[in-house]
Copies of this chain bind each other. A is one copy, B any other.
Amino acid sequence: MRILIVNVNTTEAITQAIARQAQAVAAPGTEIVGLTPYFGTDSVEGNFESYLAAIAVMDRVLAYDQPYDAVIQAGYGEHGREGLQELLDVPVVDITDAGASAAMFLGHAYSVVTSLDRTVPLIEDRLKLSGLFARCASVRASGLGVLELESQPLRAVEAIVQQAEQAVREDKAEVICLGCGGMAGLDDQIRQRTGVPVVDGVTAAVKVAESLVQLGLSTSKVRTYATPRTKKIVGWPMQLGR
């Protein structure tokens, strides 16, 4: 089984970290392929960048010319998953949804700890549309940008732990979701510090993707995610000649 995991930003190092994280939990026989968009920003922290990433992710996946069994969109709270679901016949899993979904099997309420405060409403909105918000205790921001999480891991752990502890104590969260692709690998440290299960969306998404493939399930094509009607795309230079 081959699973594509697509980063939402153009930072190759994050793609590699995500892919490693994914491969580490993959079943024997599952090949993880990390993809970096051909265009976009080196971190995604807001709506404009997220919309651009949505298209960049679709563009990158369409440009991949080998067979694959599922696609993971590895950005937390980003736009675009619905578009991929229309374009592809294989299952599409967003790490936001996979993380929340796993968390709900583990506790009565979960909180998300993400990077910047400005992305909190975006994450909340995505969880609402995904129908996974009813048991969300809170979405909290560490105040560190995506790249700072990468470059300053110690400070990142501290900032995230602090928010996670407040989520547990004040918001009554029983599980913490790491709300950022760039947080891959921090879950063990944070679990030890907070005493509650910590869900990493990337690894959760790998298991969801594998599960759907193994069960022979894929996106329903009867309505919302039906294949787009055949149309000419005008003036769009992307995904050509690749």
A interface residues, Cβ below 8 angstroms from B: 10, 25, 27, 37-43, 45-52, 54-55, 58, 79-80, 82-83, 85-87, 91, 93, 97, 101-102, 104-109, 117-118, 120-122, 125, 128-135, 145, 168, 172, 174-175, 195-197, 199, 203-204, 207-208, 210-212, 214-215, 217-220, 222-226, 228-229, 231-238
Contact = CB atoms under 8 A, between A and B. Distances in A.
Contacts of A122: 82, 224
B85 A174 contact: no
18 contacts: A10-B235, A27-B214, A37-B235, A48-B86, A50-B83, A51-B82, A51-B83, A102-B212, A108-B220, A117-B223, A125-B129, A134-B134, A174-B220, A174-B223, A199-B215, A199-B217, A208-B211, A211-B211
Contact of A234 (B42, B117, B197): B42
Nearest to A57: B51
Copies of this chain, complex-wide, total: 6
Given A38-B235, A86-B47, A225-B47, A129 B128 contact: yes
A58 B48 contact: yes
A102 to B, nearest CB: 7
A229 B105 contact: no
A105 B236 CA distance: 30
A97 B102 contact: no
| 6 closest Cβ pairs, A-B complex | A39-B235, A207-B211, A107-B220, A131-B134, A131-B135, A47-B82
A220 B106 contact: yes
A189 to B, nearest CB: 14
A58 B53 CA distance: 13
Given A93-B105, A128-B129, A47 B83 contact: yes
A217 B110 CA distance: 14
A109 B79 CA distance: 19
A82 B77 CA distance: 14
B225 A108 contact: yes
Contact of A207 (B47, B135, B214, B229): B214
A128 B131 contact: no
